[in-house]
Amino acid sequence: MRALITAVYLFLYAPIALVVLFSFNAGRNASEFTGFSVEWYGKALANPFLITALQNSLIIALVSATLAAVFGTMAALGLERLGSRARAVFDGLLAAAIVVPGVVIGIATLVALVAVFGAINPAIAAIWPGERPPQLGLGYGSIIAAHGLFTMALVTMIVKARIATLGRDIVEASADLYATPLTTFRDIVLPQILPSVLAGFLLAFTFSFDDFIVAFFVAGSKTTLPIYVFASIRRGVTPEVNAIATMVLVASLLLILIARLLMREKTRKSPAGE
C-alpha cells in the first residue's frame, strides 16, 4: 500500500521536480544534468516574444480577475436574497460552470463569439460613416470575457461561503442604527467579505494566468504565456521552457498560498463569543 502511494506521488510530482531541476541545468540537453546555472532564466527574460506573451497574460489575468471579483461578489450578494428554490438552481449552475471541461468552454465561447461578431460586424459597417469600420474580432477582449466568465463562478462560490457565515442580523442591526443600504455595504458587509473577495481574485488570476485550453480557442492572433510555451515546445524542450515553467509555478503557488491564508484567516476569527 505504502509503495503504491509513493508511486502515485512520484508519478504526480517527479516530473514537476524535474522541470524545476532542469531549469537550473547548465547544459542544453534536457535529459542530462551537467551543472548548476541560472543562465536560462536570463535567456528567458531577455526573449522579447516571451516578454510580450507574459505581458499579455498578465493584462488578461488582471482584467479578467478584476471583473470576476467585482461581478462574482455582486452575484454572491444577490444570490443570498433569492428564494431557496431559485438559489438551488443557481448553485447548481455555478457548480456546473466550474466543472465544465475547458475544451467545452473554449469551443462554446468561440462558436458564440464568432456568431455574435458575424451578426454585429455587418451592422456596424452599414451604419459606419467613415471609410474603414471597426471590426470586432478575437483578441484581448475575447480571452478576458471567457476567463472572466468562468472564474466569476469561482469567486461567487468563495464569497458566497463567506456571506453564509455572516448572518443577516448584522445587516439588519446596521439598518436599525440608521445606516443606509450603501453605508451598510461599505462599513459592515464589505470589510467582512473582503478577504474572501481577494482570495477569489487571486484564484481567478491564477486560473486565467495558467489557462491554456480556453485561451487557445479564443485568443485569435494574441499569444499568452501558456500558448507561447506550448508553441515553443514544438521546437524541442529547452531549459528555457523549464525556467519559464518554474517561474510560473512559483508565482502561482505563491498566489494560491496567499488566497488560502486569506480564506483561513476569516473563518478562524469570525465566531465571536458563544
Partner 1 sequence: MTSAPTNDIEFRSVTKRYGAVTAVSDINLSVPKGAFVALLGPSGCGKTTCLRMIGGFEQPSEGEVLIAGKVANGVPAYRRPVNMVFQHYALFPHFDVERNVAYGLRQLRPRLPAAEIARRVGEALEMVRLTGFARRRIHEMSGGQQQRVALARALVNKPSVLLLDEPLAALDKKLRTAMQIELQTLQRDLGITFVLVTHDQEEALSMSDLVCVMSAGRIRQLATPQEVYDRPADLFVADFVGKTNRFAGTLETGGTVRLGNGAALPAARADLAPGAVTVALRPEAIRLSRGTAGATTLEGTVTHRIFLGSAAEYSVAVDGLGDLLVTAERHSQSQNDLVAPGERVAISFDPGQTHIFPA
By C-beta, is 32 or 176 nearer to partner 1?
Answer: 176
- With binding defined as CB under 8 A, does residue 273 bind partner 1? yes
Rg of the chain over CA atoms, in angstroms? Answer: 23
Using CB under 8 A, pick the residue from 167, 231, 254, 267 that binds partner 1.
167
- With binding defined as CB under 8 A, does residue 85 bind partner 1? no
Taken as a whole, the chain contains a residue count of 274
CB of 40 to partner 1, least distance (A): 47
CB of 154 to partner 1, least distance (A): 25
Closest CA to 152 of 208, 84, 195: 208
The pattern of x and - marking residues 65 through 84 that bind partner 1 according to CB under 8 A reads --------------------
By C-beta, is 195 or 226 nearer to partner 1?
Answer: 195
By C-beta, is 32 or 169 nearer to partner 1?
Answer: 169
By C-beta, is 55 or 267 nearer to partner 1?
Answer: 267
Q: What's the per-residue H, E or C state across the chain?
A: CHHHHHHHHHHHHHHHHHHHHHHCECCCCCCCCCCECCHHHHHHHHCHHHHHHHHHHHHHHHHHHHHHHHHHHHHHHHHCCCCHHHHHHHHHHHHHHHHCCHHHHHHHHHHHHHHHHHHHHHHHHHHCCCCCCCCCCCCHHHHHHHHHHHHHHHHHHHHHHHHHHHCCHHHHHHHHCCCCHHHHHHHHHHHHHHHHHHHHHHHHHHHHHHCCHHHHHHCCCCCCHHHHHHHHHCCCCCHHHHHHHHHHHHHHHHHHHHHHHHHHHHHHHCCCCC
Closest CA to 140 of 46, 71, 208, 197: 208
Q: What residues contact 52, with CB distance under 8 A and at least 6 apart?
A: 223
CB of 53 to partner 1, least distance (A): 41
CB of 174 to partner 1, least distance (A): 7
**17-36: contacts with partner 1 (CB under 8 A):** none
CB of 178 to partner 1, least distance (A): 4
- With binding defined as CB under 8 A, does residue 55 bind partner 1? no
By C-beta, is 34 or 183 nearer to partner 1?
Answer: 183
By C-beta, is 135 or 270 nearer to partner 1?
Answer: 270
The pattern of x and - marking residues 169 through 208 that bind partner 1 according to CB under 8 A reads xx-xxxxxxxxxx-x----x--xx----------------
CB of 189 to partner 1, least distance (A): 10
CB of 186 to partner 1, least distance (A): 12
**Contacts to partner 1 by CB under 8 A:** 167, 169-170, 172-181, 183, 188, 191-192, 269-274
